[in-house]
Amino acid sequence: MPPLPLRFGGTVGGMGIRAVVWDVDDTLFDYTTADREGMRAHLVAEGLLAGYGSPEEALARWREITDRQWARFAAGEVDFVTQRRDRTRVFLDRPGLTDAEADDWFQRYVTHYEAAWSLFPDVLPVLDALAASHRHAVLSNSSLTVQDRKLRTLGVHDRFEVILCAAELGVSKPEPGAFLAACEALALAPHEVAYIGDHPEIDGRGAADAGLLSVWIDRGGAYATLDPPAGPHRIASLSELPRLLGADTRFGAPSTFG
């Protein structure tokens, strides 16, 4: 089978792409499920569910606040720890909460959150399939402290030769500098690197604009109604990735998105 055409020029093939750089949350790690189940258990333990019409309403509010505070961090308005504390203050509607009180509350949530950690089932098979043919790295909009521990706990830390995070880099996705920093750390040109992430703009368009082979994984059709951004290839499962990269593996199901 000939190499698949890139939407922004060139060809996809094992000889062209030498490394794969991975997003972590909701790409390798099932963050959404862990966050939902962890927060549900935390709210029960804290006796806070009574203030909401339903657990879903409380979880939706937590997600909305998380997204808003994360955007402030990504824009450089606050540091990583501050966005965590502000998430807690806003969610509890307690602006006067001290840093220590906010940290304690968040750490109690983290205990429940970590109990729900898991990889997606297609992660280990694809990492195994690509282990011999491609180098692997991580680029996350989180902090190295958080993601290093997460990857170790999930048993995949040693799969990656480079782990980069926005909090330490000082630049976050979708800025080209974040993706180019990963390429530089691997001593490869952008066209030799593929980036895999779950967000169509932050990951998909960002990586494509930086000149990497951009692969956007849309698990479960979460963005089914969205017109895909120009540039990234859209897949539904990581089992599609080896064929896209031209790797010689047992995988190779065609993309359900075309």
Minimal CA–CA distance to 17: which of 204, 182, 249, 242?
242
Whether 221 is in a domain gets the answer: yes
Give tens-digit pLDDT for 16-70. Answer: 999 999 999 999 999 999 999 999 999 999 999 888 888 889 989 999 999 999 8
| Listed residues 57, 80, 115: the one ending a domain | 115
Q: Which two tokens stand for residue 207?
A: 């990586």
- Round to whole Å and give the CA distance between 169 and 138: 13
The reply to whether 222 and 127 lie within a common domain is: yes
Name the band, by pLDDT with cuts 50, 70 and 90, for residue 247: low
Q: Is pLDDT above 50 for 249? A: no
Give tens-digit pLDDT for 92-140. Answer: 999 999 999 999 999 999 999 999 999 999 999 999 999 999 999 999 9
At residue 13, the pLDDT reads 44
- Round to whole Å and give the CA distance between 79 and 84: 9
Length of the chain equals 258
Whether 193 is in a domain gets the answer: yes
Whether 239 is in a domain gets the answer: yes
CATH assignment at residue 162: 3.40.50.1000
What number of other Cβ atoms are within 10 A of residue 15's Cβ?
Answer: 10
Question: Looking at the whole model, is its pTM more than 0.85?
Answer: no
At residue 15, the pLDDT reads 46
- Span 238-253, average pLDDT: 72
The reply to whether 91 and 127 lie within a common domain is: no
The reply to whether 238 and 126 lie within a common domain is: yes
Domain count for the chain: 2
CATH assignment at residue 102: 1.10.150.240
The reply to whether 216 and 149 lie within a common domain is: yes
Whether 189 is in a domain gets the answer: yes
What number of other Cβ atoms are within 10 A of residue 44's Cβ?
Answer: 12
Give tens-digit pLDDT for 135-178. Answer: 999 999 999 999 999 999 999 999 999 999 999 999 999 999 99
Whether 91 is in a domain gets the answer: yes
Q: Which residue has the higher pLDDT, 76 or 224?
A: 76
The reply to whether 78 and 89 lie within a common domain is: yes
The reply to whether 170 and 186 lie within a common domain is: yes
- Round to whole Å and give the CA distance between 65 and 86: 9
Q: Which domain holds residue 155?
A: 19-30+119-245
What number of other Cβ atoms are within 10 A of residue 146's Cβ?
Answer: 17
Phi first, then psi: what are they for 17, rounded to 5°?
-95, 115
All residues at 6 or more sequence positions from 56 whose CB lies less than 8 Å from its CB, including other chains: none
Give tens-digit pLDDT for 200-245. Answer: 999 999 999 999 999 999 997 766 656 667 778 999 999 999 999 9
The reply to whether 41 and 71 lie within a common domain is: yes
Whether 222 is in a domain gets the answer: yes
The reply to whether 188 and 81 lie within a common domain is: no
The reply to whether 135 and 203 lie within a common domain is: yes
The reply to whether 26 and 55 lie within a common domain is: no
| Listed residues 63, 84, 115: the one ending a domain | 115
At residue 229, the pLDDT reads 72
Q: Which two tokens stand for residue 55?
A: 């657990």
